[in-house]
Amino acid sequence: MKRREFITLIGGAAASWSLAARAQQPAKVPTIGFLGAATESGWRSWTDAFVERLQELGWTEGRTITIEYRWAEGRNERFVEFAAEFVRLKVDVIVTAGVAGVAVKQATSTIPIVLGVANDPVRDGLVMSLARPGGNVTGLSVQQADSAGKRLELLRQIVPGLRRLGILANAGYPAVMLEVGEVEAKARPLGIEIARMEIRRADRARLRSSR
């Protein structure tokens, strides 16, 4: 999915849920809580497009809506902190993505949550089913783990003599580790050996300090 299509869907969902909240509380300017997993600069193109799409829908930041940004900067433990803060602030809708959605869902069952990307929302307990999610969560699901085997088959077609495959994975990201597990399971019957290298937070810190 292209970035523009992604932002159109997420911006529309966030705006419509904020509109519903505003109808219930006419005296309050709707507030969107935006929780990013990385840094503000790293997500700049996404947030710029997000604000642009909201404006196209008639929602102008600083006038008809307020956006509270929080950035975890790669520290997953901050998701819980920021989710609790959004609840205290009584935001009207929370926009986030990935594993952060689990922390937000645990913090509130009433504030609408819009997930830009969810890897397996059913397995993570975010929704009851993809067809009928229920609850207070909506958004997009990429289901990468489900396609892991197919991608391995395609790779083998490109490299027929493939016997050993190296995987570099972020061990702190559950969806990634789930996908790695799926690749390993599919690789065994094909006679492909998987060499897994896991990167953890301390490893990333050492990489930054060595630059």
Q: What is the spatial distance between Cα 177 and Cα 188, in angstroms, rounded to a whole number?
A: 17
Q: Domains in the chain, ordered, with CATH?
A: 3-141 (3.40.50.2300), 145-209 (no CATH)
Question: What is the SS3 assignment for 56?
Answer: helix
Query: What is the structure's pLDDT at 123?
Result: 75
Q: Please write the tens of the pLDDT for every residue from 49-92.
A: 999 999 999 999 999 999 999 999 988 899 999 999 999 999 99
Distance of CA 135 to the CA centre of its chain: 18
Place of tokens 């600069």: 41
More confident: 50 or 172: 50
- Express each pLDDT in 2-47 by its tens digit: 555 555 555 555 655 555 555 555 557 899 999 999 999 999 998 9
- pLDDT at residue 100 tops 80: yes
Angle among Cα 10, 14, 16 to the nearest 5 degrees reads: 115
Q: What is the pTM of this model?
A: 0.65
